[in-house]
A and B are shown apart, each in its own frame.
Chain A
Amino acid sequence: MQPVGHVTATTMRLFFVRITLGALLVWVAGCSEPTIDEGVLPFIVPTSTDADGGSWKTVVLKAATDISVPQPLATTSAAYQQELADVKNGVLAATPEQNTAVNYWAYGAVLRWNQIARQLVAKYNVAPGYDYATGQTTPAESANPYAGPPYAARVYALLSAAQYDALVVAWRAKFQYNRPSLEQQGVISRAPVLDVPSYPSEDAAVAEVSCQVLAYLFPKEEAFLKAKATEHKQSRIWAGASVPSDVKAGEALAATLAPKVIDRVKADRFGAANDPTNTWQTALAKAPYDQKWTSLEIPARAPILPLAGKVKTWYDSTSIAKLVPAAPPATTSADFQKALSEVRDIATARTRDQSRIASYWDNGPNTYSLSGLWNLLTEEFIRENGQNELRAARTYSLLNRAMQDATTASWRTQYTYFVPRPSQIDPTIKTATVIPNTPSYVSDRAAVSSTAATLLSYLFPSDATKLTAQATEASLSGLYAGTHYRFDNDEGAKLGTAIGQLAVAAAKADGAK
């Protein structure tokens, strides 16, 4: 027989376990699921005003002087004083909804429109699907025959170039007319406002040009974009950052700029990139490589945007054309066999960390693409460095044009040599990510990431070590995934670095210090 005391202790313990159990049941049933949100992000307070910004070299425009901004009414005029009084009263009477909009847009005009573009790319970067039951290619709701990395890179480049040009024009007018900021006139704003002349509104310029360019690229989203732009412009009045005439002037200069950007869009040869007449088959037949690429999908499909290598470049097209690397080692060579063995060895004993790296840098179909990931990463740098709207737009404009060119140059290389993917040569090679339906050589991931890291290291020198490590990891990710040979990565990185250097040269010469 057990001692009485022991039995009591056991009984008590069981009693408490039961109480705990009951409490847990109530807790499990009663909690509501947390939703993922971005939390409350602190505002960045830009440090520099870049007063010379109006003289910086523009991208689509020949110069900021191409668009003239009309002279504003004097601050002493009755009309202006009325606007100012209305804004002051409006700030005091702001509703919670208005405050939400103020805080949302105060995060950064360029940053927010970049996020919107990433959202839309993720939504429309959807290739038509394949229905097994009917054997037909099915147009999904958002199916887009242009889906792929070149599509995404182009959207970001066009948006960023347009935003940058709009802001250079706005900056020129700001310091030409010097209408004092509202803060200097006693308005206590609801969010940090850069202390630059208020006319014209930089936010209105970004909102309008972003809305028009994105609406051209995503016609189905016009209503959504217009609502966003209207809210954005209004939010700056609610915030106490601008008076309506500032906003109107920003909007007007952007409306003059947008058609010029759209002319650039129409003339960039991207429209033919999906190769409707299948000329790629001729190119494949003549490809100077001993084995020919085939699609590994079942059923086989035409490769992604075969003519995207012919898209008009932003930086010097002759220099970029010269960067296309020579053919990789032939499949019969010892070098090739060594490269193939390396892919096979990694694929058979892939570590968890290699899988993670492969997945992180993949950004495959139906995502905002690798260039979108670099835009996200750059957002952090822009915030950490307190870049003002003009600087942020310059960063994105330099970056996104370079990444589009790196994508274009990669495509040009891929569709010159038509090098098979490792799994085509050895079907036992299983891949951590879906095999992109493009030839293997060169790795566009390596090229785009090396371009981005080269340029960003110049713009943010204190982060250069981190950026180089990221580019190296991104370049290796295709090897870890089993979708690329090491020579794809090495040559891709070399190509990307060279294009990054073109962008660095442009950054050095654009007038910004």
Chain B
Amino acid sequence: MIGGFMQGHRKASLAIIGSQESYSTYFINKTETKNPNLGTVTTQALTAVGTYGLGYDLDLIVAAPYIRTEASAGYFPKQEGFQDASATLRWEAYDYKLGKKLRLSWLFAVGYSMPIQNYVNDAMVAIGRGSKNWDGRTMLHLKGKSFFITGQYGYIRRGQVTLDHVVNYYDPSQLNPNSGSKVNVPDVTEIIVRGGYVNTWLNLDVWGQQQTPYTKGTDIGPGIPFPTNAVGFTRLGATAYLRLAKQFGLTAGYNTIIDGRNVGKSSQINAGLVIGHWTANN
């Protein structure tokens, strides 16, 4: 998740974060359900995130996760592999001083992500949905001496994906719905609000994230390709960062989905190492 703190010119950091996420309840459209033939789906991920300050007001952020996911019941096979690599440019367009202690900055970011490998994308238990995505967002970031609050709004434009099979579901709005393998992955909009305490050695924050399908999508169902589902969620989380040395720190977090649409009602714990310059204490 892209934050509002800039990295600083020619400063770099690398974070290695491990996470575990699981759900046994999921949403078909907005209705909660369980599937005894699926049980609990557990996803473990190891993600590398590199951040580099190209300029005092321009950062490059790259990330690549390796994922393993499996279901506890039924016969869905385990899936494992690299998911989507992403690269994001973050630009601090304006920076205002508000009084002596407050700074307000207005940021923009553009990102692109694409699958690193051709993983299975049309399955209940899958690494990802396989689309190539553009991500555009803007952020307002208010920072005081020991607190901050960031609000951001983004639009994620998800490209088409090619399924392994011919599209086969009935959709009366399409002239001839069963003649090809290409489908649209619905775009989403995203709102994130994040705020917390920050000092030179400790950072504690809480956040809420809401993704809403923007373009038309389907609901989870047999015969319906998973990538075309309209996916949305409301997620609440908390993150902590503890700086142990000048160029070394630990991070840990927890987050949980409280409401969603065509998504697992999952909870995630994560922990990792941050090597290099920590962004929140510029």
Contacts and interface: CB of A to CB of B under 8 A. Distances in A.
A470 B156 CA distance: 38
Interface string A16-47: 01100110110011010111111000000000
Nearest to A421: B75
A435 B75 CA distance: 8
A360 B169 CA distance: 14
B178 A296 contact: no
Interface string A473-490: 000000000100000000
Interface string B159-196: 01001111111100011111110111001000000000
Contacts of A17: 54, 58, 89
Interface stretch (A240-248, A368-376, A504-512): A368-376
A376 to B, nearest CB: 6
B164 A356 contact: yes
B179 A376 contact: yes
Contact of A359 (B76, B108, B165, B178): B165
B165 A360 contact: yes
B170 A123 contact: yes
A122 B223 contact: yes
Contact of A298 (B74, B165, B168, B176): B74
A356 B167 CA distance: 14
Nearest to B39: A298
B77 A431 contact: yes
A115 B77 contact: no
A366 interface: yes
B33 A133 contact: yes
A25 B136 contact: yes
Interface string A337-377: 00000000001001010011001111111111000110010
A35 to B, nearest CB: 7
B54 A33 contact: no
Given A122-B223, A299-B36, A22 B54 contact: no
Interface string A55-72: 000000000000000000
B170 A33 contact: no
B120 A119 contact: no
Nearest to A112: B176
Contacts of A350: 77
Interface in B119-176: 119-120, 122, 134-136, 138, 155, 157, 160, 163-170, 174-176
B42 to A, nearest CB: 15
A366 B75 contact: no
Contact of A24 (B78, B136, B222): B136
Contacts of A291: none
Contacts of A361: 165
Interface in B38-66: 54-55, 58
A432 interface: yes
B200 to A, nearest CB: 28
B199 interface: no
A14 interface: yes
B110 A423 contact: no
Given A21-B89, A122-B169, A376-B179, A28 B110 contact: yes
Interface in B76-92: 76-78, 89, 91
Contacts of A14: 54-55, 58
Interface centre among B36, B37, B135, B157 (most CB of A within 10 A): B37
A374 B46 CA distance: 42
A33 to B, nearest CB: 5
Contacts of B223: 122, 125-126, 364-367
Contacts of B136: 24-25, 28-29
Contacts of A359: 120, 122, 163-165
Given A14-B54, A36-B184, A359-B122, A132 B169 contact: no
B34 interface: yes
A366 to B, nearest CB: 3
A33 B184 contact: yes
A429 B89 CA distance: 44
Nearest to B122: A359
Contact of A36 (B35, B54, B77, B180): B180
A366 B225 CA distance: 11
A41 to B, nearest CB: 9
Contacts of B177: 119, 122
A118 B178 contact: yes
A57 B33 CA distance: 54
B250 interface: no
A430 interface: yes
Interface string A91-127: 0000000000000100000000001001110110110
Contacts of B175: 37-38, 104
Interface in A426-440: 429-432, 434-435
B75 A429 contact: yes
Nearest to B163: A359
B215 interface: yes
Contacts of A35: 174, 184
B164 A360 contact: yes
A290 interface: no
B36 A132 contact: yes
A365 B36 contact: no
Nearest to B37: A298
A112 to B, nearest CB: 9
A52 interface: no
B7 to A, nearest CB: 14
A435 B136 CA distance: 41
A36 B215 CA distance: 13
A431 B124 CA distance: 12
Contacts of B116: none
A297 interface: yes
B73 A355 contact: no
Nearest to A142: B170
Interface in B228-267: none
Contacts of B187: 33
Nearest to A435: B75
Given A17-B58, A22-B108, A364-B222, A355 B179 contact: no
Contact of A115 (B73, B164, B178): B178
8 contacts: A25-B136, A28-B134, A38-B175, A122-B169, A298-B36, A365-B223, A431-B75, A435-B75
Interface of B: 33-37, 54-55, 58, 73-78, 89, 91, 93, 108, 110, 118-120, 122, 134-136, 138, 155, 157, 160, 163-170, 174-180, 182-184, 187, 215, 221-224
Given A297-B37, A366-B224, A376-B178, 9 more contacts: A17-B54, A29-B155, A31-B157, A33-B157, A36-B160, A36-B182, A38-B175, A119-B177, A133-B34
> What 3 A-B pairs are tightest by C-beta distance, nearest first?
A366-B223, A359-B164, A123-B170
